[in-house]
A = this chain, B = another copy of it.
Amino acid sequence: MYRSHNNGSLRASDINTEVTLSGWVQKSRNKGFMIWVDLRDRYGITQLIFDEERTPKNMMEQARTLGREFVIQVTGTVIERSSKNPNLPTGDVEILVSKLTILNKALTPPFTIEDETDGGEDVRMKYRYLDIRRNPVKNSLIFRHKVAMEVRKYLSNQDFIEVETPYLIKSTPEGARDFVVPSRMNQGQFYALPQSPQTFKQLLMVGGMDKYFQIVKCFRDEDLRADRQPEFTQIDCEMAFVEQEDILNVFEGLTRHLLKEVNGVEIEKFPRMLYDDAMRRYGNDKPDIRFGMEFGELNDVAQHKEFNVFNNAELVVGIAVPGGNSYTRKEIDQLIDWVRRPQVGALGMVYARCNDDGSYKSSVDKFYDQDDLAKWAEVTGAKKGDLICVLSGDTNKVRAQLSALRMELATRLGLRDPKVFAPLWVIDFPLLELDEETGHYHAMHHPFTSPKPGQLELLATDPGAVKANAYDLVLNGNEIGGGSIRIHDKKTQALMFDYLGFTPEEAKAQFGFLMDAFQYGAPPHGGLAFGLDRLVAILGGQETIRDFIAFPKNNSGRDVMIDAPAAIDEEQLQELNLKLRK
């Protein structure tokens, strides 16, 4: 037996008992006649003491050799500490060691195993097993486990059944790029790893499973943007005999449960916002509503003057930055530079200071008088002491630009408090999205999403206007979940594939099994999927997902710890009937 207790468990009530502990040497203080060692494990830290009076000489010698991260086992007596540490749950006691065994030595770790480490991202990832010893990473993984358990408990109590769907499925070129898996037993053929279990969960609804969920890995072979992973985890859910309202209620309940159990935050009813309103008011389909700074559309009050930049713009839109009048000219110039960075892409920014005396001072005073600017302030909700920032251009672009600015300013102003949770349903998403490169429409959510009743006809005349029974759950400016009511009849599904440019043959080859299934009694159904990595990070008050994933990949899709991917043997390639191109 390696231990009688863990290193987080001993208290004053244990004094005088003999215990055996195991763990890592966090640090050791050697005062010559006395040595203290902090012994660490997942559960905490317990202080060990060796001293010349009470410790045999050879054990003192051995204790002096203990380096950081050595793995040791000790037996000893729990005694009262002379100087207690109120910051440590075990801080009232220490162990007078009577037996010391070095279980494994350790090289000096390449970075310190402390909450604030001196290790950079790259070295931490290469030695991720050491990084995981650090509290911030360890606690993030434990937190993730807790969230996942609460999800399972909640859904299971609501009669959801977790069903495992297959990982080796079929490639469908539509949508994002699949990872493929060559089949040895069926040469020349490939499996694909699922981008999501979408069609399988729909088949489970056709199969009468009624309420399904699964916490499941999904795969996308995309060029990785920052903070994206080629493999990621979804809480995938589907329900039969439901309308949008039923789904929103169930998953609002789940999210409310998580906020309460995991964060101790109670939120009554989640607000809902139409997609069109979200775009108009925040320039974004996942608005962060922890703070205001809503968009004010200024076309009516800023166009038809002499300022042609605005006159030629499809949209002139501004936000009021609280207290922004205190910015120096230099700071404002830096803001202008910020929106002109290629990542944001604005051509420039107009601003108006709202002075404390009620007057305005703008960068376009030549074109706009005080009355004009007062209207700007009214539309953007700017108050004395604020700064109005105005962008103009094509509606879609300028909204994205101003949204980026809004988020940046809110971050700078400390308005994005990670302890505040502001969930929001965004509903009535468009069914289709115009691909500006090809000029074709494609499914905004996926080709299985049903248009709103009666809107199918619009497809022929005004495809961009067709709304879908599709919804996203947004938390603090992040999409944490999204879903839709699905098509459940073969005719509509065939129409949709046709509209999206599938030939009937392609539709049959790729999704024939689903359309067949719809002929054998498919119930109305719909669902939602949460991105677990993101959800956990946000609940954990973090912006990046990486430390909530035990072994993440870097932006090139590499695992730098195990050094994957890697070349494989020629023999393996031969068995798979494959050759590398030159």
Q: What is the interface of chain A, defined by CB distance below 8 A to chain B?
A: 1-3, 6, 22, 24, 40-43, 69-71, 73, 103-107, 109, 127-133, 138, 141-142, 144-145, 148-149, 152, 156, 161-171, 173, 177-186, 188-193, 199-200, 203-204, 206-211, 217, 219, 221, 223-224, 230-231, 233, 241-243, 245-246, 488-489, 513, 517-524, 549-551, 553, 556-559, 561-569, 571-572, 574-581
Contacts and interface: CB of A to CB of B under 8 A. Distances in A.
Q: Which 9 A-B pairs have the closest CB atoms?
A: A132-B207, A106-B521, A170-B564, A2-B241, A189-B565, A69-B521, A183-B565, A42-B210, A129-B207
Contacts of A567: 188-190
Contacts of A246: 1-2
A167 B167 contact: yes
Q: Copies per complex?
A: 2
B200 A551 contact: yes
Contact of A170 (B165, B166, B549, B565): B565
13 contacts: A41-B241, A109-B521, A127-B520, A130-B207, A132-B207, A144-B164, A164-B549, A168-B564, A178-B572, A186-B565, A190-B568, A204-B550, A578-B580
A520 B166 contact: no
Contacts of A518: 104
A271 to B, nearest CB: 22
B165 A132 contact: no
A181 B179 contact: yes
Contact of A103 (B152, B524, B564, B565): B524
Contacts of A200: 550-551
A581 B571 CA distance: 13
Given A2-B241, A231-B166, A549-B164, A104 B488 contact: yes
B104 A523 contact: yes
A133 B561 CA distance: 45
B243 A1 contact: yes
A242 to B, nearest CB: 7
A494 to B, nearest CB: 15
Nearest to A561: B513
A193 B181 contact: yes
Contacts of A183: 557, 565
A263 B140 CA distance: 36
Nearest to A582: B577
Nearest to A574: B581
B577 A523 contact: no
B133 A523 contact: no
A495 to B, nearest CB: 16
A201 to B, nearest CB: 10
A77 to B, nearest CB: 20
A104 B242 contact: no
A233 to B, nearest CB: 6
Contacts of A145: 156, 161-163
Contacts of A193: 167, 181
Nearest to A512: B563
A128 B521 contact: no
Contacts of A231: 166-168
Contacts of A2: 241-243, 246, 524
B128 A207 contact: yes
Given A161-B142, A164-B233, A171 B107 contact: no
A103 B145 CA distance: 40
Given A138-B209, A180-B576, A203-B129, A562 B170 contact: yes
A395 to B, nearest CB: 34
Given A103-B523, A104-B488, 7 more contacts: A2-B242, A41-B208, A69-B521, A128-B203, A167-B219, A177-B184, A513-B561
A169 B559 contact: yes
B578 A581 contact: yes
B185 A138 contact: no
A148 B162 contact: yes
A31 to B, nearest CB: 24
